[in-house]
Amino acid sequence: MATIAVLGGGYAGLRTVKRLVREKVNAHIVLVNKYPYHYESTQLHEVAAGTKKPSDITFDIREAVSDEVDVVIDTVASIDRANKKVLLEKSGPLSYDYLVNALGFETETFGIKGVEENSLSFYDIDSAVAVHEHLEKTLANYATSHDENDLHIVVCGAGFTGIELLGELVHQIPAWTQKYALPEGGIKLYCIEAGKKILPMLPEELSKWAVDYLTEHGVEMHSGTAITQVNPGSVMGGDLEFRANTIIWTTGVRGSHVICDSGYDQKRNRVIVKDDLSVEGQPEEFLIGDVSALPDPASGRLYPTTAQIAIAQADAAAVNVAALVAGNPTKPFVFKSVGTVCSLGPHCGVATIDMFGHWKLKGHKVGLVKKLVNDRSVLELAHVKEMLASN
Ligand SMILES: Cc1cc2nc3c(=O)[nH]c(=O)nc-3n(C[C@H](O)[C@H](O)[C@H](O)COP(=O)(O)OP(=O)(O)OC[C@H]3O[C@@H](n4cnc5c(N)ncnc54)[C@H](O)[C@@H]3O)c2cc1C
């Protein structure tokens, strides 16, 4: 019997194994993930800001997948593609006949000096918890230090992650001010972004609404300001120095380092895949989610790295692997977006929805949309019990 190895238990990997089981593929399915739990990457900023607990956005992988799937909790070190073996940190090599690589994203620093040493970023549960603990500790420290930089927070980057994080931080300010008896208006939030336009993927009126919302809630937005260096306690951007004892880096993502460590032809650890999501010259190997790069035939630009696309690619890859196992041809990946949601704290946000027409939404109703999207994801990746438990 053939072995299908699926690497990564994020949106893409978990959905792949679920779909393979549904397709009744005649093969041995192995899912490898670093942690025994799945985490909702789209909600990591909420754990970082402390508006959600890790247990709100995680569930046990073994309980979520069918008994037909072998779950291996281990870290992929690299892939010996010539010999079709996955090299793991703790266990022996895993041989495969088909591979679905869904190892996901890491933080991109763009080689800017001091970023790794002097800023915090979040890309999994532990790193998100570390950001939250740093925030609480630094705010608490003000009582003894009276150093105003303990109350200053710089968010580097105004993409979705940076803006969504700022929304959560804004929401937390009143509670933190009360908890640590801070001066009213003492917590200062800065956002520094190299691009001139914030949230360029959204229509102008929605991105403006988001920026106005954050500005009205005390965020100082600095767009068109390229960060040149991060020092201990300060960020250099344009001609300005932003002093803060909390610096959070959210300027973008690259794929897993396992990609370049395994000799793929890659850019920022993303591999251009064929339209059926397989790798050129390796029909048994599929890359999906944030490690893959596929041009959108409509625009010619690469699809963005989103959970929505990762999940759609997982379905397509699983169907294609099942077709190969059965000796049938593969089909091209087709994607239709259902819209984009950018939250601004737990109860607010902006969104475009492409279902039953084209809708532009802003304000409190978007909080409900985001919750429905998140619940649907938990529902589809785990099961109803988990979704109800997270309410
Ligand atoms: C704060 C934030 C908010 C976002 N909001 C949205 C949103 O609203 N909508 C949207 O569509 N997208 C959103 N995104 C993007 C989305 O989260 C990613 O595109 C998505 O997570 C990609 O899914 P994936 O399965 O490819 O990777 P991941 O979710 O990164 O999953 C990768 C999995 O692989 C595991 N893994 C990693 N390395 C190894 C290794 N070496 N060995 C074993 N296992 C490993 C990880 O533990 C993880 O389980 C957001 C991202 C962030 C950070």
Q: What's the gap in Å between 13 CA and the centre of ligand 1?
A: 10
Do 150 and 176 have their domain in common? yes
CA atoms within 13 A on the CB side of 386: 24
Task: Specify the pLDDT at position 47.
Answer: 98
From 290, 313, 335, the end of a domain falls on 335
Q: Which of 93-107, 165-179, 223-237, 375-389 bottoms out in mean pLDDT, i.e. has the lowest?
A: 375-389
Q: Which domain holds residue 126?
A: 115-249
Residue 376 located in a structural domain: no
Give residue 390's pLDDT band: very low, low, confident or very high (50, 70, 90): very low
Judgement on whether residues 119 and 98 belong to the same structural domain of the protein:
no
Q: Is residue 354 part of a domain?
A: no
**Separation of 11 CA from ligand 1 center, angstroms?**
7
Statement to judge: residues 221 and 313 lie in one domain: no
Higher pLDDT, 191 or 376: 191
Q: Do 182 and 280 have their domain in common?
A: no
| pLDDT, tens digit (0-9, with 9 covering 90-100), for 189-213 | 999 999 998 988 899 999 999 999 9
User: Residues 268, 316: one domain?
Assistant: yes
Residues 6 and 30 occupy one common structural domain? yes
Rounded to whole angstroms, the Cα distance separating 126 from 135 reads 14
Q: Which pLDDT does position 388 carry in this prediction?
A: 41
Mean pLDDT across 357-386: 68
Residue 187 inside a domain? The answer is yes
Which of 249, 264, 279 is at the close of a domain? 249
The rounded distance, in Å, linking the Cα atoms of 7 and 95 is 12
> pLDDT at position 337, please?
83
* Number of domains the chain is built from: 2
302: which DSSP letter? B
For residues 193 and 219, membership in a common domain is answered with yes
Residue count (the chain): 391
101 within ligand 1 shell (Cβ under 6 A)? no
Whether 44 is in a domain gets the answer no
pLDDT exceeds cutoff 70 at 37:
yes
The catalytic residues are 164
Judgement on whether residues 185 and 300 belong to the same structural domain of the protein = no
The three-point CA angle 57-335-380 to 5° equals 30
pLDDT at position 171 is: 97
Q: Is 89 a member of any domain? A: yes
Question: Does 105 sit in the ligand 1 pocket, CB within 6 Å?
Answer: yes
**What tokens were used for 247?**
């610096």
Q: Between residues 284 and 389, which one has the greater pLDDT?
A: 284
Cα–Cα dist 262/101, whole Å: 11
| Nearest residue by C-alpha to atom 27 in ligand 1 | 104
- Ligand 1 atom 37, closest CA: 103
Q: Is residue 53 part of a domain?
A: no
Tell me which of 208, 223, 249 is where a domain ends: 249
* Mean pLDDT, residues 249-269 taken together: 96
Same domain, 233 and 275: no
Q: Does 29 share its domain with 92?
A: yes
Please indicate whether residue 76, judged by its CB atom, sits closer than 6 Å to ligand 1.
Answer: yes
Question: What average pLDDT does the segment 339-363 reach?
Answer: 87
Average pLDDT over residues 221-240: 96
14 within domain boundaries: yes
In this prediction, residue 389 carries a pLDDT of: 45
C-alpha of residue 66 to centroid of ligand 1, in Å: 22
Residue 343, ligand 1, Cβ within 6 A: no
Beta-bridge partners for 88: 76
Q: Is the pLDDT score of 188 beyond 90?
A: yes
207 and 293 share one domain: no
Q: What is the CATH number of the domain that holds 266?
A: 3.50.50.60
Of 253, 277, 299, the closest CA to residue 124 belongs to 253
Q: Would residue 293 count as lying in a domain? A: yes
Residue 384 has pLDDT above 80, yes or no: no
Specify the ligand 1 atom closest to the Cα of 250: 53
Q: How many of the other CB atoms lie within 10 Å of CB of 294?
A: 21
CA angle 153, 156, 161 (to 5 degrees): 100
Distance (angstroms) between ligand 1 centre and the Cα of 253 equals 10
Q: How far apart are the C-alpha atoms of 74 and 87, rounded to whole Å? A: 10
Q: Would the CB of 311 count as within 6 Å of ligand 1?
A: no
d(Cα 38, Cα 383) in Å, to the nearest integer?
Answer: 13
Residue 73: C-alpha distances to residues 291, 299, 344, 370 (Å): 20, 39, 34, 30
Residues 184 and 231 in one domain: yes
**What's the pLDDT at 382?**
57
